[in-house]
Structure 1
């Protein structure tokens, strides 16, 4: 289905051509002066130099070709040569009626669907999720959903950190605490217990304790390094413990991500990439890409065009140990072999940018990916507190994610109870739905690459550019439709009629922008554009609602048209928030 802007541009391009000018000048944009017009074309200004004519002469000639246009109700030339445009109300209503029957509300399915692996989440096992994990999860989930909606095969991978010194530290601390466990008996040949010798709570206490000890006690650190080495060499007892750590951690991680309505197709781990490392490293040596430098094995990735120093990519340390870089490269090898993706997109803290520049260049230089495989990095900014510093607990520590969610749910519960719009027994569940909108919209309404202030008071407000305000708008529409139906109305009957009021037409114009917004948001990996759009739609609906007696309208055809219009608004808003990763309750 063609977008309304495309159709307008085609009309303008044809008019430019008929007037004897290049049709490329027929580009249409949303007006920067909505008090004067809805859209504008500045092509005459751009063409003046090429045709050595005053822009208003070109504009007049183009406008003359649009006298009988069925698309525009107004075509007006304003000096020095702007063409101001208003959409014809009948044409707009007709286009929206078609949009309402379109499977994806005017969003076109990609003609050449791509397979895109999106790497987001990135938690470490044995550690609780904290607020630092929030942005990756929320942004990645939204981009995955938008990509699927426009027709691509999106594969979400959590990419767990499970293979470094942290494993050795946990094993060492367990050995100190419970040396009698069979996992530490080198003569043991039986089956290892199926139940883990620790709970998630104990595991989360063990790691920081072990980490602190290793910084103060060199012997303890050496023991942990040896345990890590033994694990990576396949020690059976340590491998059994490692599996317990994974199972307990992943179960807890899945529960926490489910609370955020975030899910992954793959629960791949750093350890999954280990088998690919030896062959990958050998390939880089054999082809002359890798060389020794001060005992380490490195690959040069600097380029002549670099304006800053890009250090070599270190594959192996002098002791032969691999690094994150090695694992990330081997993960690319694994992904290419298993999925042959068209693109691998990483949603990671922007402070990791240099690391990914090195990894991407190394992967491309050494032929780990095909020439047309795209490697992308979306680096997100920091979530800060009101003091402008990284968000902390009141005590100054890193806040656990489930505590943040709980705090916001509690805030929403109090507001909903004060509002008295939901019965007490439903208020708790409603608070969770609205609280999630506050968190996700609060994050996603900011451009991903920028730092932002996480302000609980503002994000949980029912007014302004917030998740709860968007949900309140959807709930208001649901309430009107519910009352209409209760009074015997048919939600499917009738058709959208041309607008008779300014606020009605403005709502129609906003809804017409849905398809272009979604496609652009995916193209630019920018969920904040959907947030900005639905805020405008919500404002447009609420203006229309306050100025229009929808249910008491006496003309039955006009009333039915209003119902069709707000039904379309509800579908647009609900589809949009689903792409952002949250839903709306029936009442608030």
Structure 2
């Protein structure tokens, strides 16, 4: 398994420090921020001087002398009080890139201990169209899933459907108001119930707002919905059958949106899947004295002595016997522990839910709901805003549907590809396929390139441009390489051994070598924006290389063959990173 370039250099420089009777950890090497001084830099001589009470430049000189003996560096110099600048020999750099190219993961898996990771994201609800609020949860969650798979982890992805609780009771009673003769409402009906749903997903999306509004104006209706919720949770057959219909049509609808966004789930579970687990959990917590009654409700106190803010208890069961979201979330953790024994569970949910998850996580720890070593983390994120800087809304102030957002992006991308002259080169079907990929790439890269806790402005015109830090720009760089490699094949040209004849080639190789650190940092921080920065830097370096170095037109056969190989390696890495980001690159554009 390939060791990353920075790790190799840190080990080499660390060994030089050790040979000078200094702490080897001071040999940590980082990428230089000033390329004119060197490709890499080590600042350890300053800390070593402080510890040894010696002059830092004197120590740096000793380290440089040791490094010169290795023959791995083309240039070693000092700057300031003792900064060591390093540039690699071509042999060392080329050797590393050859190793990197032979590794399908470009060295990213070295040093990573595979673990079992559960990702909870998406979070659609029965009877509700997915909206702009689901956009970031889905895009970020799917990217983190792909990242963990790339690292070699065992990954379980769960959509965790919102399919339980009072909203279901409201829908049941609203459907009963409109269609009272349906068998689902007859307590004496023994079945079988109809195989076809009495309501479509479009009807449900009208019924739920109506039921919600009615519950606020009619206390009797609200009470009847609460009773229906309780009876549903207790297993009333008619309500369960109607609920299953509502769930099925809602899942079918959301799968269309998830497919458009390339989201993949190994589990399509929801809150309802915890129903049979909850009674035993409540009994256990009561017997162990971990829960208590408070005004008729069952709660778990999660406040700690050193809290700087008020921390309300987690309510598990209301006085009327109904369970809460916190109950199903806690039960879900216990079931995940039993079924998967996870090392990490990540919840990709709006940052505004942070208090809820803190309560649930504290309760899980207190109640022994999962292994003590397992990690629970709420991966929060900011909002998608309009040009007014406020959360994105429709013109009439309503919630923007996710489907319409995707359709708008594809429509804008279609205009862009037509303006680029692609309409003359592709038939209608291929043009539409390209526009769809460009539109989805525009949305994804725009979202993921932002630090996830930041809010960002949704600007389709800017996102769909084939220039700058956009998804289409990264796609186009890959497509351009594909086109070049096809032309090379048509001309009978082949790849050959890597050589380095220009700085543009070396800089591109160094950009390729930076992937392991980007992948590791993105995984540690759950931050796909780090990968966006990496692939953008890589495409920038490739464009500089393409400008400075002839490839197909290079007369020297060995250099031409080397550059074709470098292009092929670059293409593989761009596509690998874009795939982690959920972006599918077409063969041509």
TM range (shorter): over 0.9
> Which residue of 1 is the match for residue 526 of structure 2?
525
Instruction: Please report how far the alpha carbon of residue 289 of structure 1 lies from its aligned counterpart in structure 2 after TM superposition.
Output: 1.6
- Secondary structure in 1 matching 2:336: helix
How far has the Cα of 1:110 moved from its partner? 6.4
Distance 1:118 1:110 in 2: 22
Map 1:150-549 to 2 at 5 A.
150-421=151-422, 422-425=425-428, 426-490=430-494, 493-497=495-499, 499-549=500-550
Does the CA contact (< 8 Å) of 2:123 and 2:161 recur in 1?
A: yes
Task: Give the aligned partner of residue 126 of structure 1.
Answer: 127
Deviations 1:232-268, CA, capped at 9 Å, x for gaps: 2222211111111011111111111001100110011
Query: In 2, Cα distance between the equivalents of 1:540 and 1:179?
Result: 67
TM-score, normalised via structure 2 length: 0.97
How many residues align? The count is: 585
Task: Work out whether residues 302 and 362 of structure 2, in 8 Å CA contact, stay in contact via their aligned partners in 1.
Answer: yes
Contact 1:213–1:220 (Cα < 8 Å) also in 2: yes
Matched, 1:576 2:577: yes
CA distance in 2, matches of 1:298, 1:455: 45
C-alpha change, 1:454 and 1:70, in structure 2 (3 Å) is farther
Q: Retained in 2: the 8 A contact 1:38–1:86? A: yes
User: Does the CA contact (< 8 Å) of 1:169 and 1:210 recur in 2?
Assistant: yes
**Contact 1:110/1:150 (8 A) holds in 2:** no
TM-score between the two structures when normalised by the length of structure 1: 0.97
For residues 405-428 of structure 1, give each alpha carbon's deviation from its aligned partner in whole angstroms, at most 9, with x where no partner exists. 000000000110111134241211
CA contact (8 A) 1:118 1:140 kept: yes
Q: Deviations over 1:491-548 (max 9, x none)?
A: xx41111x22222211111001112221221122111110000000010001111122
Q: C-alpha distance in 1, partners of 2:25/2:179?
A: 76
Deviation for aligned residue 1:21: 2.0
Indicate conservation of the 8 Å contact 1:109/1:151, yes or no: no
- For the 8 Å contact 2:112–2:151, the answer to whether it is kept is no
Instruction: Please list every run of 5 or more consecutive structure 1 residues that lacks an aligned counterpart in the other structure.
Output: none
What's 1:98 paired with?
Answer: 99
Give distance in 1, aligned partners of 2:163 and 2:397.
27
Equivalent residues of 2:469, 2:536 under 8 A apart? yes
Q: What's the CA shift for 1:187?
A: 3.1
Q: Quick check: 556-565 or 500-509, which moved more?
A: 500-509
Report the Cα offset of residue 109 of structure 1. 5.8
Deviations 1:54-83 (A, max 9, x none): 111111111111223332111101231111
Equivalent-residue separation in structure 2 for 1:60 and 1:448 (angstroms): 43
Tell me the residue number matched to 1:54.
55
Equivalents in 2 of 1:293, 1:169: separation in Å?
A: 26
The one-character-per-residue Cα deviations of 1:171-215 (angstroms, maximum 9, x if unpaired) are 112111112222223332231111111222112111112212222
**How far is 1:149 from its partner?**
1.1
**Structure 1 residues 291-337: Cα deviation after superposition (integer angstroms, max 9, x where no partner):** 22222222221122222121222222222321111111111111112
Is 1:13 aligned with 2:14? yes
- For residues 515 and 57 of structure 1, what CA distance do their matches in structure 2 show? 33
User: SS where residue 552 of structure 2 aligns?
Assistant: coil
Alpha-carbon offset, residue 90 of structure 1 = 2.1
Q: What secondary structure, in the 3-state scheme, does the structure 1 residue paired with 2:276 have?
A: helix
